Structure 1
């Protein structure tokens, strides 16, 4: 049985870019899993291992590492974010 594709955000509570990433996905009506790394070295290490980066947010759509908020916003401005999110919706059905 395969895992359902999902949107995952590694975030901290007060990071302004994390807040913007949440707002962008909320505005699009996208469900996501928000993994807060504030108080967990293990979750921070997981994020760094998966993304190769140390900054937050780190965003994954399915198996694809999108990057941070600026990367996701650039995809949105280029019209490339909605098709990626649609693929997630299709995989969940």
Structure 2
């Protein structure tokens, strides 16, 4: 019984270009099953153009949450420093008035 499934291959930040490629894939499954595939294929510029903005675009890293977390951390540290300075000033003022 033949089974077919789509398998996405991560390209990372490299953009696929038109040309001839060879896919070598090893697959294993429970029960000791093992398959070895070798497939030559050609990608044309027309195929790449038809897939633009769907696949074949390098993943862009989103650092927004790192900036938000960093900003919150800086604000918290500043608030703690200001609180400690004000507390120290109050203690100094109390000791001077005695």
Indicate the TM-score class for this superposition, using the shorter chain for normalisation. Answer: under 0.3
Higher Rg of the two aligned structures = 2
TM-score (norm 2): 0.24
Question: Please, what TM-score do these two structures have when normalized by structure 1?
Answer: 0.24
